[in-house]
Structure formats: C-alpha cells, structure tokens
Structure 1
C-alpha cells in the first residue's frame, strides 16, 4: 500500500514538473513573439515616418546657367531656349509639385558666382517697382552688384511665370516671389568662400516651394 502511494506521489510530482516546464516554454515563446512583433512594428513605423518626411519636403528645381540656358554676362535677358524650357518643362513640374505638396508660393532665387559685376551704377532702387508692375522692361535695370544681378534674373523668371499664368490660365492660385542669394550660397547649400573667378557651377536659378502661414510676432 505504501509503495502504491509513493508511486502516485512520484507520478503527481512528474506531472507538476512537466506542466511547469510546458508553461515556461510557452511563456518563452510568447516573449520571443512579442519581441519580434515589437521589432517589426518599429521598423514599419520608421519606414512610414521616413516616407511621410520625404513627402512633406518638396524638391528644389534648379536651372543651371550653362549652354543654351546661359544668361549673357551681367544680363537678365532670358535666352529663347531657356524661355522654351521654362514653358515646356518647368511649368508642368511646378504644377505637379504645388498640387502634390499643397503649395501656394513659388520662390525664384538667383545665384551668381563671385566675379565682381564691373563698375556699373545700380538703378534698382529707382526702377525696381516699375519693372515689377510692368511699367518698365527688365532691360532697363542696371546691376551694380551680384546681389542686383541675382535679383534681376529671378525677376525675369517670375515675369515669365506670371505672364504664363495670366495668358494661359494655368498656375492658378500661386504667388511668385523673386529673391537673390548673390554669390553667397554654393550648390551644396554651404556658405561660399571668397572666390572671384568665373565659376559656371555656382551660377543658377533655384525654384523653391513653400506655404504661406499666419504672420505673428514673438514677444
């Protein structure tokens, strides 16, 4: 009888130990699955974040001042091939980008190299508003500096876009702004060092996209 009871006790102990090991194994598997799920979820979230970040950042369109699209030295007159390029290639790209990113302002920034712009006396202070309003052609402006020249070339591109907007009924709802960076910013976005030589790589027009927000003062 005693031997029979010991067998029962040993059998019960074995069953308890087996159940315990099964429980620990299942808990370990659940922990592994939880860790894998956490890793996968984190990876997917990071990919979604990067994708959304990229989608929230519109591209910068660059028109290089070279070849058939090159301005004459010291001039803001747009050559015919460049005019055709703006109308046929740049305008559709602006339409696509502004729609995709819900943009309402297009900024045109003129960049020059570091060559001094001769001994010309600037007349932008006297005539700039008249040119922007269409009372004077842009050829009446005289650039006394690279800052003047960059702004004049940006204004020339803005005029093409505004005329296209008015005459063709496209680019609706967009405002265009002209700015000059003169010789200060390299294509990489870094500040330029002093360099007075001819450098075609630095001469360019940049088209940037932004959204106007509410104007407020920080006090």
Structure 2
C-alpha cells in the first residue's frame, strides 16, 4: 500500500515537472511582426522589386539578427515574408511571373527579370527578393534550419491589419514588407 502511494506520488511529480517545462519552453505571447517600411533609403523604385543597397544592408545587419533571435525564442521553423503595396495601378499590362517565378525562387534568374502585371504580382516579387537575400545568407551558414515563404497581400491589408478601401492614389504608408514567424502543423482534410 505504501509502495503504491510512493508510485502515485512519483507519477504526479513527474507530470507536474513536465507541465512546468512545457510552460517555460512555450512563450505565452505571439511572436512579433517585423516590418520594413517602404521609405527613404529602403524604398523600392516604383513598379520594381530590386532591393535598394541600403535595404540590403538593413536586412543583413538588423533584420537577420531579429529573425534569428525570434525563431529561437519562439521555437519557429518557418518565416513568412509578405509584400504589401498601395492601391496605385501598376501600369504594366504584361507579366511573366507564370513563366519565371520558380526560376527566381531557385536562383536561376534574378528578381529583376520578373515583370509585374498587378500589385499582387509586385508584392510577391518584393517578398521573393527578400527571400533570395535570406536564402543567400543561409547558404553561408546563417539562419540554419529555417524555411522561408514569400507571399503577397497586394494592396488589400492596411498596416493596422484591416482590409483597405479602394484608393488608387500613391500611399507610402501602405507599402511595406512584413516578416512573420510561424510553426506550421500537419495539414488535415476537413470533411
């Protein structure tokens, strides 16, 4: 009987210890969203996804250490890069993303070879340009074990997270790159 009580006590202590470890290892708050605003030396040329030299240095010297810190702190393995534009029309009726997007993602051709036909295209191209920098750094030993995904929100989402109303005027406050941290689960098919 006493042996059973000691066994039960040991099991309870083990369960409590595991719960405490899980609480310590899992942050209670969500990870931050890193934002690169499209302004000053970090501004993309209109209709372009080429990273300005100052933005390139900013990504390497400021953003990458933040990515490394947050992925470790929040136990993240996927980093999402989201390109946001304003509602101003792109003006390029032809695009070549369908033919060349994978080639850029695999570094066969530079991002500058892509032609955006819409703001959705442009946002994706800009996100992909940032991903290319991160992949390059990863090939040199930084950002180990991380996966990067490029997305576009086009002109649809305002900086406060709300849907944008129709506004076709240039608006630098809406143009940005967001860097988000996630831990994807297993896909399930809901029936």
In 2, the alpha carbon distance for the partners of 1:204 and 1:165 equals 23
Cα displacement (A) at 1:214: 1.1
Q: How does 1:14-163 map to 2 (within 5 A)?
A: 55-163=28-136
Pick from 211, 215, 218 the counterpart of residue 183 of structure 2.
Answer: 211
Aligned residues: 167
Question: Which consecutive residues of structure 1, in runs of 5 or more, have no partner in the other structure?
Answer: 1-51
Q: Is the 8 A contact 1:105 1:212 kept in 2?
A: yes
Deviations 1:33-63 (A, max 9, x none): xxxxxxxxxxxxxxxxxxx997330000000
Residue 171 (1) aligns with residue 137 (2):
no
Q: Is the 8 A contact 1:107 1:177 kept in 2?
A: yes
Residue aligned with 1:201, SS: helix
- RMSD value, Cα: 1.4
Residue aligned with 1:181, SS: strand
In 1, the alpha carbon distance for the partners of 2:39 and 2:155 equals 16
Partner of 1:187: 159
Partner of 1:200: 172
Cα displacement (A) at 1:215: 1.3
Partner of 1:47: none
Question: Which consecutive residues of structure 2, in runs of 5 or more, have no partner in the other structure?
Answer: 1-24
Cα displacement (A) at 1:116: 0.3
Provide TM-score, normalisation by structure 2: 0.85
Deviations 1:64-105 (A, max 9, x none): 000000000000000000000000000000000000000000
Residue aligned with 1:164, SS: helix
Greater gyration radius: 1
Q: Is the 8 A contact 1:56 1:101 kept in 2?
A: no
Cα displacement (A) at 1:216: 1.1
In 2, the alpha carbon distance for the partners of 1:54 and 1:145 equals 39
